[in-house]
A = this chain, B = another copy of it.
Amino acid sequence: MNPRLFSFVGGPRGAWSIVAQSAPSGDPLPAVERLEVHAGLAPLARDAAWRLCGVTSHDRYVERAEKARLVAVQQGLGRPEATCAALIPIRKTATWWALAQDERRTIVEAQSQHIAIGLRYLPAIARRLHHSRDLAEAEAFDFLTWFEFAPDEVPAFDRLLVELRATPEWRYVEREVELRLVRAG
């Protein structure tokens, strides 16, 4: 198994309680009560409603100077105070994927400041990006981003999403689901 593979399983069990779901673009996911995050390929339990998989991978757009700033301030997952989380699966359009690398980089950063916006919310909001598009199975989403933060940071996280969704990059998002979660008691 690829050691960078993670699975997100929605169903009646899991360490995270889903407190809200919205679908800014396209179809929502079947509603469930809980989410479990697994390292590796989780077995799809009979009572689970869905399983999303993705692998962490190398940087696709981040340049060296940006990476240095990110690495200097970002925090890991699993901080005790980070009892809030979000899972945001996204699929981009065929037009996006047909663009050349320099065109995608221009949209991501020169036009949208995706990396710079994210940096402003560090270290409060920890994040792990998973790529799903190049798995052997056909996946419903291209990316799964998992965020963890303390309850006090919920307003900041809300602003981060508003900022990102207002960017030119988001014109290429054809499906986006937002799950908000709290650590189950």
Stretch at the interface among A59-67, A77-85, A168-176: A59-67
Q: Assess the B136–A41 pair: CB atoms within 8 A.
A: yes
- Chain A binding surface, main DSSP class: loop
A-side interface residues toward B, CB under 8 Å?
1-5, 41, 53, 55, 57-64, 66-67, 97-103, 105, 131, 133-139
20 sample A-B contacts, Cβ–Cβ < 8 Å, listed by A number: A2-B134, A2-B137, A3-B138, A41-B136, A53-B136, A55-B134, A55-B135, A55-B136, A57-B133, A57-B134, A58-B97, A63-B100, A63-B101, A63-B102, A64-B103, A66-B100, A101-B105, A134-B134, A134-B135, A135-B135
Which residues of chain B come closer than 8 Å to A5, judged between CB atoms? 136
Say how far A68's CB is from chain B's closest CB, in angstroms: 9
Copy tally for this chain in the complex stands at 2
Which residues of chain B come closer than 8 Å to A133, judged between CB atoms? 57
Taking a contact as CB atoms closer than 8 A, the residue among B2, B60, B61, B103 that contacts A135 in the complex is B2
